[in-house]
A and B are shown apart, each in its own frame.
Chain A
Amino acid sequence: MTIKEVEQQIVEEFSIFTDWMDKYEYLIELGKSLPIINEGQKLEGNLIKGCQSRVWLNAEFKDGKVFFTADSDAIITKGIISLLVRVFSGRSPKEIIEADLDFIKEIGLQENLSPTRANGLLSMIKQIKIYAMAYSS
């Protein structure tokens, strides 16, 4: 599947939710069910500090692909992270660099990526792209 196809899949999953409660409950569920980073990787160097919550991002480059693991101390942020990891992890640097994030808007979570939220997500996405650029050279 391409990045675009995975994003489309996520959009379809979210399309069944008619009100915000269900959508956020699903995000909380995603956040809870994924132990997406091991404690050893919660290093200061992997920490992206937002005013609201903290995000850790770890990247590994293997066989031409970038593998991301990430975490947050806030569960809703973690839920959104799990979507981003699902989209970006295991992709080539080129795919990551070229990908857009329109699906976040389509599932109605764009407010969480606003710089005013200061939850670290925007910086995390920037960091994902920076890793991809570093590995592509």
Chain B
Amino acid sequence: MNKTADINDIRKLFPALEQSVNSKKLVYLDNGATAQKPQQVTDLVNLMNSGINGNIHRAVHELSSKTTELYENSREEVMLFLNAAHREEIIFTSGTTAAINLVAASFGDKFLKRGDAVLISEAEHHSNIVPWQLICEKKGALLKVLPVDDCGHWRMDMLDALLDENVKIVSVSHVSNVLGLINPVEELISMAHSRGIPVMVDGAQSVVHLNIDVQKMDCDFFVFSGHKLYGPTGTGVLYGKRELLEEMPPWMGGGDMVETVTFEKTTYAPLPLKFEAGTPNFIGAAALARAVMFVNSLDKEFTQKQEHAVVNFMVEELSKIEGLKLYGTQGDRISLFSFTIDGVHPADLAMIMDKMGIALRSGQMCAEPLMRRYGVEAMLRASFAVYNTLEEAEYFITSLKRAIKMLS
């Protein structure tokens, strides 16, 4: 099949990009928060909501078997996408947050005890901090933090000392939602594994920009959200190595996750259903396959070239703006840029640029400890997706300069 290598052909699939905001053509640069959806994703969601709707795994009727098939085919699609070894290693969740909470609660319940430790990095999203704090508090375990340097890179020189025998699991982001840098996860994983410590990788940002091969990466868990990957909201994936998932207790109890239930003793369904209690968002999960197919349909060489062009342009142009500080510098990065400007508040910039039709993120980015690390209250973030053009980057820079002028 021919792969799409033209940005206009890509944009045509996204009706949301056609709209105007504040009487200006929308320039959507908040993809790090959520991405727009291609037509084929919304089509399937609509089709299922308006007819192909029957609860999965439960009934013998035609509609149920159709939805079950769509749901399980999506699992297969995600498995191939991540290059997981087995389909039962793919657990559908409501998002990255739910996936991390699942691992923290279930793995933590089984393997953490008083005096143990969990290692995260200083550049984590709140959703990769708080679930660990909850379980650590419950278990009397310690949450340890791998610091980042001024440029935003992990302090790999400190890793050896931090990975002591108390650490039972490491959970880190592949790409921080603030810094945009591609972290050396393979190096960290091999070091952790040499000490028998499993590693969870938060791929919420990276899965959208990089090719993920969980077997090559050798991570023990990999989590991401469907809605950032052009899929439906309320979908997410937990990949986990089979042996580990087998050992972990269920997190939520309910229908579909059981084998036999008596009041005395319940036995659980095998993977992956053990971790999918209750009626899942099966329409969303089914449509996630369409999002994955969309990503697969793109010419990777083209999208990478396009992203490099945006990164080079943005880094260069941002560096020319007086008083601008970009967080996350040097080394490989994705097209996600967080920065501050001396004397101008990010919220003001975001508000003015919204009037210019540009959607940005401002605030603490759900990463308060990282804000504190850099001594700022808030940042402004522009994050690009495959449908964003270089012209949009240019318009962003021109508009930013205009907004700064208005505000200073």
Spell out A's residues near B (CB within 8 Å). 20-21, 24-25, 28, 51-54, 73-77, 112, 118-119
Contacts and interface: CB of A to CB of B under 8 A. Distances in A.
A76 B22 CA distance: 18
A51 B33 CA distance: 15
Contact of A52 (B347, B352, B406): B347
B348 to A, nearest CB: 5
Given A51-B363, A52-B350, A54-B377, 6 more contacts: A20-B22, A21-B406, A52-B362, A52-B378, A53-B347, A112-B351
A51 B364 contact: yes
B364 A25 contact: no
Contacts of A76: 347-348, 351-352
Contact of B347 (A20, A21, A24, A119): A119
A42 to B, nearest CB: 13
A25 B344 CA distance: 14
Contacts of A24: 351-352, 355, 406
Which of B345, B362, B377, B406 has the most A CB atoms < 10 Å from its CB? B345
Contacts of A112: 351
B407 interface: yes
Contacts of B345: 53, 73-75
A76 B349 CA distance: 9
Nearest to B362: A52
Which of A21, A76, A119 has the most B CB atoms < 10 Å from its CB? A76
Nearest to B403: A24
Interface in B20-42: 22
A50 B22 CA distance: 24
Interface in B70-128: none
Contacts of B363: 51-52, 118
Contacts of A28: 348, 406-407
Interface in B360-396: 362-364, 377-378
Contacts of B346: 52
B126 to A, nearest CB: 11
Which of A51, A112, A119 has the most B CB atoms < 10 Å from its CB? A51
Contacts of B351: 24, 76, 112
B83 to A, nearest CB: 37
Which of A21, A75, A77 has the most B CB atoms < 10 Å from its CB? A75
A74 B378 CA distance: 11
Contacts of A54: 377
Given A51-B364, A53-B378, A54-B377, A74 B347 contact: yes
B347 A25 contact: no
9 contacts: A20-B22, A21-B355, A24-B355, A25-B406, A28-B348, A28-B406, A52-B378, A53-B347, A118-B363
A92 to B, nearest CB: 33
A25 to B, nearest CB: 6
Nearest to A79: B348
A123 B122 CA distance: 31
A77 B377 CA distance: 15
A25 B351 CA distance: 12
Contacts of A75: 344-345, 348, 407
Contacts of B362: 52
A54 to B, nearest CB: 7
B53 to A, nearest CB: 31
Contacts of B347: 52-53, 74, 76-77, 119
A118 B378 CA distance: 13
A31 B363 CA distance: 20
A116 B313 CA distance: 32
A115 B329 CA distance: 34
A121 to B, nearest CB: 11
Contacts of A25: 406
Contacts of B22: 20
Contacts of B355: 20-21, 24
Nearest to B351: A76
Nearest to B354: A111
B356 to A, nearest CB: 9
A54 B371 CA distance: 14
A89 B173 CA distance: 48
A28 B143 CA distance: 43
A74 B348 contact: yes
Which of A20, A21, A74 has the most B CB atoms < 10 Å from its CB? A74
A12 to B, nearest CB: 23
A119 B363 CA distance: 9
A75 B344 CA distance: 8
Nearest to B365: A51
Interface in B132-167: none
B380 to A, nearest CB: 11
A24 B347 CA distance: 13
A77 B350 CA distance: 12
Which of B348, B351, B352, B407 has the most A CB atoms < 10 Å from its CB? B348
Interface string B397-408: 000000000110
A74 B345 CA distance: 5
